[in-house]
Amino acid sequence: MESATNDRPQIPLAPAEEPKPRATGAIPIDPEPFWRLPITWFRALTIERRILAGFSLVFVGILVISAVSYRNTSVLIANSGLDTRSHELVQLLSNIDVAMDESENSHRRYLVTGEALYLQAYKTVVEQKPTFFKYLNDLTRGSPEQQQRVGLLNQMMDRQLNAEAGAIAQRDGGGFEAVRKMALEGAAKQELSTIHRIIAEMESYERQALRRRVLESAASTTNTIVLLSIGALLQLVLLASVYYLIRHDITERRRIATELQRRGELLEAANKELEAFSYSVSHDLRAPLRHIGGYASLLRKTVGESLNEKAVRYLQTISDSAKQMGQLIDDLLVFSRMGRQEMLLTSVNLDQLVKTIRYELRLDLQGREISWTINPLPEVPGDPAMLRQVFMNLIANAVKFTSTRPIAKIEVGVNRRTSGEVVIFVRDNGVGFDMQYASKLFGVFQRLHRVDEFEGTGIGLANVRRIVHRHGGRTWAEGMPDKGATFYVALPTRRPRS
Amino acid sequence: MTAAKPILLAEDNPRDAELALAAMEEQHISDKVVLCHDGAEALDYLYCRGQFKSRLKGNPAVVFLDLKMPKVNGLEVLRIIKADTNLRTIPVVMLTSSREERDLAESYALGANAYVVKPVEFHQFLSAVKELSTFWGVINEPPPEGSCSSN
């Protein structure tokens, strides 16, 4: 862990930026500025993750805007409810005001005339008062100030009505003269004016509250509009960035696809050329060889009797060389064909395959003493003819390179098996090889033994490697001079993709 | 026995032709061999035209065809023979240096009766030609047929 250079929390950087361990006391290199970290983080992401990050930001933006809009709209709706209540309250107060005026005036007319008809307004107020106060209490709920005024108003109205009731009783008992003064001035003049004042106060309070709410709603609406505009702009920028990312990626992919196609076409052309070449090798190079061998034979037949031993050997060498070159050409053609031949993909039973190969080799095994150990082998996906050639080569090699042993030992088995591949080995107690030449073993026309020791053109193991590579596998070998050799073939247990 | 019927050998390479004839000589059938040096000449023989206008009528016992020949190649000759009602019964043996799969496939698709790769080794070549000419020219009973076709 590096020494702490500051108390900022350590945020892991991209692997490339990992600071190297440095000696204590050395001047610490200042880490990247804090604000650059998101950019570094973003650059390290794959295109899919970048797009996901972009869309996530857009989504979070939409959530925030929705939440704020919801809150503002709720305030607007609540305010409009309160406004309705205020208007109703103002209307009710003015009704009460009018009713109390009416009650006082008509009551005075009654005091003067004694006509019972004029008592109607007073009676109505007395009747309606509980209803009025029920509404008043409802409409002022949540506002203690107004409730207090409602209580006061209730008292005053009671006093006015009581005063009026008293005056009516006096008029009924003592006639007009008893209430003459009251009829002229009004029984509850003072109470009525207090009622007018309270009602005016309440109205003014309500109107103020209304004005406040109008201002609040307007501010909230402005906020919402500003927020929506900024949000929309940000979303637009984000979406445009994501679009740019995707577009950039698509363009890049298209360019790569075109490039790949172009290279594919070039490869195909090269392959065609190679095919034409090997065809011509196959056909044209073989004819002169045939003629060399043929005419050498004809010559020997024509002048056979008169030739001395040396001349016979020369002619034989000419024939042998032609034959050998023919073999080399054939091997080379097989090798080149192996590279382009279509692969047939089926399941190959290696047990059966090795059994067949041993049967096919039986003529070569005549006069040899070989101790075979064939362990159980698995089934693998692959081309049967190609895999047959692999194991034919390996087993024929084992037979060939043990020919100097009185008792040859050849073992075939599974070396190890993982989920992805199986490693098969072919081991012999033959002449072996020096590990320092191990890398040459699988090369084309590479031989580790002289031709007069062991025959062969040196193409067998090259074919083995090429076939195994085409199956998606690996080959290697271990050996020691005069101590035998082991050849390993690792084959995938799942089908290769092509 | 079909002693009278000739063997048609279409071979452009004079050395290959000479070696083949040498092999047939050992079987004493070289006098039955008609040698053509390209595909066009082989077709002239089969259709009794050109230098073969006045030849004895009748199809050969067998045609040995090289693949690669100037003017008309072996596959084209084969196609013409197998498309002609009078000629298509003649056994045709492809005798070639090519072991290419597509040559093999195409020859058989066109109706070749046999496909033989000329061995590089002379003794093998010798025995191959001997066996072929003995089998197709002597042992095998060719199809009955009329006269030379007039195309």
Q: Which residues of B touch A283 (CB under 8 A)?
A: 67-68, 96-98, 100
A342 and chain B in contact, CB less than 8 A: no
Give the domain-ending residue among A280, A305, A323.
Answer: A280
Is residue A14's pLDDT more than 80? no
Rounded CA separation A201/A199 (Å): 5
pLDDT of residue A23: 44
Is residue A30's pLDDT more than 60? no
Is residue A142's pLDDT more than 90? no
pLDDT of residue B145: 65
pLDDT of residue B102: 83
Compute the average pLDDT of residues A212-231.
88
Task: Provide the shortest C-alpha distance from residue A327 to chain B (in Å).
Answer: 9
Among A432, A427, A416, A453, smallest CA distance to A371 is for A427
Domain contains A239: yes
pLDDT of residue A31: 59
The band of A4, judged by pLDDT with boundaries at 50, 70 and 90, is very low
B121 and chain A in contact, CB less than 8 A: yes
Do A362 and A256 share a domain, yes or no? no
Q: A72, exposed or middle or buried, with CB in 10 Å at 0-12, 13-18, 19+?
A: buried
Give the domain-ending residue among A250, A280, A310.
Answer: A280
- Token pair of A296, please? 């050498």
Q: Which residues of A touch B70 (CB under 8 A)?
A: none
Domain contains A408: yes
The shortest CB-CB distance from A282 to any of B16, B99, B123 is to: B99
Decide the pairing of beta strands B62-65 and B7-10.
Answer: parallel
Rounded CA separation A140/A92 (Å): 12
Domain contains A328: no
- Token pair of B38, please? 């390209």
Compute the average pLDDT of residues A424-451.
83
**pLDDT (tens digit per residue) in A157-207:** 888 888 888 888 888 888 888 888 877 777 778 888 899 999 999 999 999
Percent residues over pLDDT 90 in chain B: 26
Decide the pairing of beta strands A474-479 and A421-428.
Answer: unpaired
pLDDT of residue A5: 42
Domain contains A140: yes
What is the overall mean pLDDT for chain B?
84
User: Quick check: A297 and B16 CB within 8 A?
Assistant: no
The shortest CB-CB distance from A279 to any of B100, B118, B125 is to: B100
| Domain topology for B7-139 | Rossmann fold (3.40.50)
Do A259 and A122 share a domain, yes or no? yes
Domain map (residue ranges) of chain B: 7-139
**pLDDT (tens digit per residue) in A232-257:** 898 899 899 889 988 988 999 999 99
Task: Provide the shortest C-alpha distance from residue A492 to chain B (in Å).
Answer: 29
Q: Which residues of B touch A323 (CB under 8 A)?
A: 120-121
Compute the average pLDDT of residues A389-405.
90
The conformation of residue A8, written as its DSSP 8-state character, comes to S
Q: Which residues of A touch B19 (CB under 8 A)?
A: 290-291, 294-295, 298
B28 and chain A in contact, CB less than 8 A: no
Residue A6: C-alpha distances to residues A1, A27, A30, A40 (Å): 14, 13, 10, 20
What is the overall mean pLDDT for chain A?
84
| Residue B74, C-beta contacts closer than 8 angstroms, at least 6 positions apart | B10, B39, B65, B66, B67, B68, B94, B96
Task: Provide the shortest C-alpha distance from residue A296 to chain B (in Å).
Answer: 9
Length of chain B measured in residues: 151
- Token pair of A319, please? 């024939």
Number of structural domains found in chain A? 2
Tell which of A291, A318, A321 to mutate to test the B interface (max B CBs under 10 Å).
A291
User: Quick check: B19 and A290 CB within 8 A?
Assistant: yes
Range of the domain at A473: 344-492
Give the domain-ending residue among A280, A296, A328.
Answer: A280
Q: Which residues of B touch A298 (CB under 8 A)?
A: 19, 22, 122
The band of A13, judged by pLDDT with boundaries at 50, 70 and 90, is very low
Percent residues over pLDDT 90 in chain A: 23
User: Quick check: B98 and A319 CB within 8 A?
Assistant: no
User: Quick check: A287 and B16 CB within 8 A?
Assistant: yes
Q: Encode chain A in three state secondary structure.
A: CCCCCCCCCCCCCCHHHCCCCCCCCCCCCCCCCHHHHHHHHHHCCCHHHHHHHHHHHHHHHHHHHHHHHHHHHHHHHHHHHHHHHHHHHHHHHHHHHHHHHHHHHHHHHHHHHCCHHHHHHHHHHHHHHHHHHHHHHHHCCCCHHHHHHHHHHHHHHHHHHHHHHHHHHHHHHHHHHHCHHHHHHCCCHHHHHHHHHHHHHHHHHHHHHHHHHHHHHHHHHHHHHHHHHHHHHHHHHHHHHHHHHHHHHHHHHHHHHHHHHHHHHHHHHHHHHHHHHHHHHHHHHHHHHHHHHHHHHHHHHHHHHHCCHHHHHHHHHHHHHHHHHHHHHHHHHHHHHHHHCCCCCEEEEHHHHHHHHHHHCCCCCCCCCEEEEECCCCEEEECHHHHHHHHHHHHHHHHHHCCCCCCEEEEEEEEEECCCEEEEEEEECCCCCCHHHHHHCCCCCCCCCCCCCCCCCCCHHHHHHHHHHHCCCEEEEEECCCCCEEEEEEEECCCCCC
Among A10, A50, A49, smallest CA distance to A32 is for A10
A333 and chain B in contact, CB less than 8 A: yes
Place of tokens 């103020």: A208
Task: Provide the shortest C-alpha distance from residue B41 to chain A (in Å).
Answer: 22
pLDDT of residue A455: 74
Tell me how crowded residue A172 is: count the other CB atoms within 10 A of its CB.
12
User: Quick check: A291 and B15 CB within 8 A?
Assistant: yes
B13 and chain A in contact, CB less than 8 A: yes
Task: Provide the shortest C-alpha distance from residue B69 to chain A (in Å).
Answer: 12
User: Quick check: A286 and B97 CB within 8 A?
Assistant: yes
User: Quick check: B120 and A297 CB within 8 A?
Assistant: no
Domain contains A314: no
pLDDT of residue A282: 67
Among A391, A76, A51, A474, smallest CA distance to A239 is for A51
pLDDT of residue A16: 41
B96 and chain A in contact, CB less than 8 A: yes
Residue pair A431/A482 in contact (Cβ under 8 Å)? The answer is yes
Residue pair B48/B55 in contact (Cβ under 8 Å)? The answer is yes
The band of B6, judged by pLDDT with boundaries at 50, 70 and 90, is confident
Q: Give strand pairing partners of A172.
A: none
User: Quick check: A283 and B67 CB within 8 A?
Assistant: yes
**pLDDT (tens digit per residue) in A40-97:** 777 777 788 888 888 888 899 889 888 988 988 888 898 888 889 889 999 999 998 8
User: Three-state DSSP class for A423?
Assistant: strand
Query: What ipTM does the predicted assembly reach?
Result: 0.74
Is residue B3's pLDDT more than 60? no
Compute the average pLDDT of residues A138-147.
87
**pLDDT (tens digit per residue) in B71-95:** 888 999 999 999 998 898 899 999 8
Is residue A475's pLDDT more than 90? yes
**pLDDT (tens digit per residue) in B31-59:** 888 999 988 999 999 998 888 888 888 88
Q: Which residues of A touch B67 (CB under 8 A)?
A: 283
Q: Which of A119-133, A270-284, B42-56 has the lowest mean pLDDT?
A: A270-284
For residue A461, the domain's CATH number is 3.30.565.10
Percent residues over pLDDT 70 in chain A: 91
Compute the average pLDDT of residues A391-407.
90
The band of A22, judged by pLDDT with boundaries at 50, 70 and 90, is very low
User: Quick check: A296 and B123 CB within 8 A?
Assistant: no
Task: Provide the shortest C-alpha distance from residue B44 to chain A (in Å).
Answer: 26
Domain contains A200: yes
Rounded CA separation B37/B12 (Å): 4
The conformation of residue B48, written as its DSSP 8-state character, comes to T
The band of B4, judged by pLDDT with boundaries at 50, 70 and 90, is low
pLDDT of residue B107: 94
Residue pair A156/A92 in contact (Cβ under 8 Å)? The answer is no
